[in-house]
Structure 1
Amino acid sequence: MTDLLVHDLKIVFCGTAKGKLSAQTGSFYAHPSNRFYKTLFDAGLTDRMLIPENFQHLLKYGIGLTDLNQTESGMDRSLSLDGFDIAGFHQKMLTFSPKIVAFTSLKAGRVYFGNRHISCGLQRQKIGTSLTCVLPSTSAANGHWTRDRHHWYQLAELLTET
């Protein structure tokens, strides 16, 4: 499955790796219990609810998608550290230079920044000129979703400010 990246994006969402169903179907955030597309709509980042099979339509909203680990799929706990290509991801972000790079899980943010104490929200570090933020995972496996989902709404507000 290839990245959804073009120049002049507002946001690039970066996960750790595709889930098993996403890898099988070739669609990002494909599991029916994943809240990704619903959250984009609820936060006002899209004007309609998209479905995983139509993830390419995110480009109309200035949204791109990628993952840190392009060689493995599955739950975070099943991924090897060797599968994460931090340098390759960093170079992609410098090349495409979106306004915001948003990591779609604490794990993704912590792996990228090499800091296991990173928390959700806007980060001080930039990637080139791109702002960075870490968001709570939209996976149904995230037991802290109710408490932490406000970070997705803050991202939408940040986007209108930039």
Structure 2
Amino acid sequence: MPDVLHDLLGEALHIVLCGTAASTASAKASAYYAHTQNKFWTILHETGLTPKKLQPHQFRDLLHYRIGLTDLVKTHSGMDHQIPLSRLRKVARERLRASIAGSRPRFLAFTSKTAGQAFLGGKRDYGEQPEWLDQTRIWILPSTSGAANGSWRPEIWHQFADKVRSQRR
């Protein structure tokens, strides 16, 4: 199956942000985090990871800030509970590992607990994880989806941004 959204990866990335899969709105718009209720673009700006608030159609501009984007599952779209993770987990993990090995970012941050737990293989809390992928630190951040408002904790995103700034190459 073709990818719903193409990876936004490249050399010299500092961060790769990884969701579970593209939302229906993102798939339709061909842009990451495109739903109007999604807080992704706002929190990137509020934390200082981007100097201005970008719009979903400007997602490619993240490369200027050494930020890349991908999803754990590239071939499906929808809400986390609609993605057949149990069937796709192994292939998704291998693909993401290869993508991270190729771009070698300083940080891999999952933008949903579902994606982070599926990749790491078990229950996890938000924040920095003990595992690394070679030289890449792993974080799990609260989802920016409007459907996840009940678990929204912007302070974790701010902690992540502070750690990123302290580790600039």
Task: Establish whether residue 95 from structure 1 lines up as the match of residue 102 from structure 2.
Answer: yes
Gaps of 5+ in 2: none
* Aligned residue in 1 for 2:125: 119
Offset of 1:83 from its aligned partner? 3.3
Query: Distance between the aligned counterparts of 1:80 and 1:57, measured in 2?
Result: 31
Give the structure-1-normalised TM-score: 0.96
Task: Establish whether residue 33 from structure 1 lines up as the match of residue 40 from structure 2.
Answer: no
* Post-superposition CA distance 1:2-51 (Å, at most 9, x none): 10000111100000000001111110000000000000000000110100
* Post-superposition CA distance 1:36-77 (Å, at most 9, x none): 000000000011010000100011111000001011100000
Aligned-CA RMSD value: 0.8
Offset of 1:95 from its aligned partner? 1.2
* Aligned residue in 1 for 2:19: 15
Query: Distance between the aligned counterparts of 1:55 and 1:161, measured in 2?
Result: 24
Query: Distance between the aligned counterparts of 2:6 and 2:165, measured in 1?
Result: 28
Offset of 1:149 from its aligned partner? 1.6
Give 2:68's aligned amino acid.
Answer: G
What is the aligned counterpart of 1:160 among 143, 146, 165? 165
Secondary structure in 2 matching 1:72: coil
Give 1:70's aligned amino acid.
Answer: K
Secondary structure in 1 matching 2:132: coil
Query: Distance between the aligned counterparts of 2:58 and 2:165, measured in 1?
Result: 25
Query: Distance between the aligned counterparts of 1:46 and 1:161, measured in 2?
Result: 16
Kindly report which structure 2 residues correspond to 1:1-162, keeping only aligned pairs within 5 A, or say none: 1-81=5-85, 82-84=87-89, 85-115=92-122, 117-142=123-148, 143-145=150-152, 148-162=153-167
Give the structure-2-normalised TM-score: 0.92
Query: Distance between the aligned counterparts of 1:99 and 1:47, measured in 2?
Result: 20
